[in-house]
Amino acid sequence: MKREVWKYAIENKLMKKCFMIPAGAKLLHAGVQGKSTCLWFEVDIETKIFCKRSFEVVMTGEHVEHGDYVGTVIYTPYVYHIYETTQGDH
C-alpha cells in the first residue's frame, strides 16, 4: 500500500459538502488553511475504489441533526464544528 496525505477544502460559505475519496481513507485533521476550512486524509493511492463522503459544518449554537463529530475549526470570529454525515461504510 502506498499512502499519501490529501487535502479537501470546504468553502467557508458552504455548510454541506460531499467529496469522492479513496475507499478506506483515514481522516487525520480538520483545520483552516488560508481562507478555507480543510480536511486532511491519509489515502491509499493504489486503490481504484472511491467513495462519496459527506460532511456538514455547524456553527456554535446551531442544531446538530446527525453525523459523527470530526473536529472543531476556529476561523476568527467564527467557530465551526464538522460532522461526517456519510451513510454506511466508507
pLDDT in tens, 7-46: 999 876 678 899 999 999 999 999 999 888 999 999 999 9
89 within a domain of the structure (yes/no): no
| Cis before 77? omega within 30 | yes
26-33 and 50-59 beta bridge pairing:
unpaired
Greater pLDDT, 35 or 5:
5
Q: Tell me the pTM.
A: 0.88
What is the C-alpha to C-alpha distance for residues 32 and 50, in angstroms, rounded to an integer?
25
Count of domains observed in the chain: 1
- Whether 90 is in a domain gets the answer no
